[in-house]
Structure 1
Amino acid sequence: MYFTDRGIEELEQRRGDEEVTLAWIAERLQEFTDVHPEFETAVERFATWLARLDDPED
């Protein structure tokens, strides 16, 4: 198990029944990088990966 799995599991347990929009997620990611700019690259890569998930060229 990766260390990040614990955070993902906690997210699922605490908020797994909620419905949110991608706009809401984008706002939270922007807020997170404002507070933690050292994670900007990782958040950017994650957001780009999500945005292109169904793109057959990537």
Structure 2
Amino acid sequence: MYFTDRGVEELSQRRGEESVTLDWLADQLRTFVDLHPQYEDAVEELATYLARLDDLDD
């Protein structure tokens, strides 16, 4: 397990039963970057990855 997996595991445990929209997720990512601009590049890469998941099959 990677060190960063701890946050992913916590998210799954605490909020795994919830349903959210992608609009909600996008808003949360924007808020996070507003509060932590040093992570803008990583959030951008994650958002692009999620947006293009269908393209990975090509």
User: TM-score under structure 2 normalisation?
Assistant: 0.93
Counterpart mapping for 1:1-58 below 5 A? 1-56=1-56
Structure with the bigger RCO (C-alpha within 8 Å, sep 6+) is: 2
Distance 1:20 1:2, change over 3 A: same
Structure with the larger helix share: 2
Q: Which runs of 4+ in 1 moved over 4 A?
A: none
Identical residues among aligned pairs (%): 66
Q: Per-residue CA shift, 1:35-58, capped at 9, x if unaligned? A: 000000000000000000102587
Where do 5+ consecutive residues of structure 2 fail to align?
Answer: none
Partner AA of 2:20 in structure 1? V
Q: Please give the root-mean-square deviation of Cα atoms over the aligned residues, in Å.
A: 1.5
